[in-house]
């Protein structure tokens, strides 16, 4: 008795999808997998338009992509490792750009949407004061149940003051979701987040794709500054350091030439200035001890030698004769003759 196996016929549409996916994988530099939960058709269409020419978004079954991955394993090393991420509803992104750039574009283009019951508030949800445009009725009770103070203003329901109806991390109730929907408030943010990306045989996880661009830029700037300082200190020639190294060498050579009194057309002024300073200092010291030891020509040239010769003889000649001549004769001439002339004739005239 023989048995026959009847092969299950695969629909042509699925075969065509697998072929399309296979071609997309082979022609793309990056293959990303993002979760489709909470993403509506409107958001997908908007992202497709945004990424047109650089990336292609495809929504399909995990089994079909698995078949396509296996068909590409010879041309794309380790691409079948993506099979472990084919869980739940996914959106597949076939891109020709850097995965980090793709992740930043998706992160910057998240969209606001209405809240659903059970979702977690990403931040404080505030309802601002103002006229709602709704006529009085059962809505007053709905607003009151979620903590909104109301009154009737110009025949409509008005919210009296800005009110926080949910704090960050709170679960949104069914009543609150309904009220927010009626008021047109979209507190939730939705967008594609790449869970894993394949590039050149490597898998890049979500946390690796989420980078702080400004922090990385700051680190690179600091590293470049430190590298430049190190290169200059160790005299490492490079296009970025050569100009500063030449300037540093010129300054050091000029200082060395001045210190060693090495004469060149460039160092001659500095060497002469140094010699003049040393000559003046030496002449000043000699002049302070014995001014006559200095040659007459040196005395005329050196500005430091004349002052000690002029000051020393001038000080005693002016001070010594001036003090006794002014003080001593003046005091006795005014006091001594004046006192006896007034007292002697006056006293005997009163006694007689």
Instruction: Give the count of beta carbons closer than 10 Å to the beta carbon of residue 280.
Output: 16
Strand 194-199 and strand 90-95: the pairing is unpaired
Taking every pair of Cα atoms in the chain, the longest distance, rounded to a whole number of angstroms, is: 188
Average pLDDT value for residue range 282-307: 67
Total H helices, total E strands in the chain: 15, 12
Using one digit for the tens of pLDDT, what is the confidence trace for 1-23?
455 555 567 788 899 999 999 99
Domain 13-110+191-211, CATH: 3.30.70.1730
pLDDT of residue 329: 45
Rounded Cα–Cα distance for residues 142 and 178 (Å): 9
d(CA 110, CA 123): 15
Contact 194, 209 (CB under 8 A): yes
What pLDDT was estimated at residue 67?
A: 94
Which residues does residue 44 pair with via DSSP β-bridges, in sequence order? Answer: none
Domain boundaries, the chain: 13-110+191-211, 125-189, 215-260
Token representation of residue 111: 């969209």
Q: Strand (E) positions, the chain? A: 30-35, 55-58, 90-95, 111-113, 125-127, 130-131, 150-153, 156-159, 163-166, 188-190, 194-199, 202-205
Q: Is the pLDDT of residue 72 over 80?
A: yes
Which architecture characterizes domain 125-189 according to CATH?
Alpha-Beta Complex (3.90)
Query: For residue 269, what pLDDT is reported?
Result: 86
Please state the three-class secondary structure of 296-322 as a single string: HHHHHHCCCCHHHHHHHHHHHHHHHHH
What SS3 class is residue 274? helix
User: What's the pLDDT tens digit per position in 176-185?
Assistant: 999 999 999 9
What pLDDT shows up at residue 300?
A: 53
The pTM of the full predicted model, rounded to 2 decimals, is: 0.55
Q: pLDDT band at residue 113, thresholds of 50, 70 and 90?
A: confident
């Amino acid at each position: 008795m023989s048995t026959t196996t009847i092969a299950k016929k695969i629909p042509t549409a699925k075969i065509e999808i697998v072929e399309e996916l296979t071609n997309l994988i082979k022609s793309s530099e990056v293959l990303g997998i993002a979760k489709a939960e909470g993403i509506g058709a409107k958001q997908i269409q908007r992202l497709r338009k945004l990424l047109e020419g650089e990336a292609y978004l495809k929504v399909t079954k995990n089994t079909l992509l698995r078949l396509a991955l296996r068909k590409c394993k010879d041309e794309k090393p380790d691409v079948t490792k993506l099979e472990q991420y084919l869980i739940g509803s996914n959106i597949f992104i076939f891109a020709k750009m850097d995965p980090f750039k793709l992740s930043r574009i998706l992160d910057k283009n998240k969209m606001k949407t209405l809240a659903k019951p059970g979702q977690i508030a990403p931040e404080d949800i505030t309802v601002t004061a103002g006229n709602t445009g709704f006529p009085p009725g059962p809505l007053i009770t709905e607003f009151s149940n979620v903590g909104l103070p109301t009154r009737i203003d110009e025949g409509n329901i008005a919210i009296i003051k800005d009110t926080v109806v949910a704090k960050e991390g709170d679960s949104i109730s069914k009543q609150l979701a309904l009220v927010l929907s009626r008021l047109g408030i979209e507190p939730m943010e939705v967008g594609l987040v790449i869970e894993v990306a394949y590039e050149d045989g490597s898998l890049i996880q979500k946390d690796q794709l989420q980078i702080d661009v400004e922090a990385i830029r700051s680190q690179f700037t600091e590293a470049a500054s430190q590298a430049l300082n190190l290169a200059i200190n160790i005299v490492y020639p490079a296009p970025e350091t050569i100009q500063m190294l030449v300037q540093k060498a010129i300054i050091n050579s000029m200082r060395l030439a001045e210190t060693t009194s090495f004469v060149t057309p460039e160092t001659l002024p500095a060497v002469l200035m140094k010699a003049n300073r040393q000559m003046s200092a030496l002449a000043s010291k000699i002049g302070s001890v014995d001014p006559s030891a200095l040659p007459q020509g040196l005395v005329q040239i050196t500005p430091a030698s004349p002052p000690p010769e002029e000051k020393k003889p001038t000080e005693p000649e002016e001070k010594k004769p001036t003090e006794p001549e002014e003080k001593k004769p003046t005091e006795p001439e005014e006091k001594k003759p004046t006192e006896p002339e007034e007292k002697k004739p006056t006293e005997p005239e009163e006694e007689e």
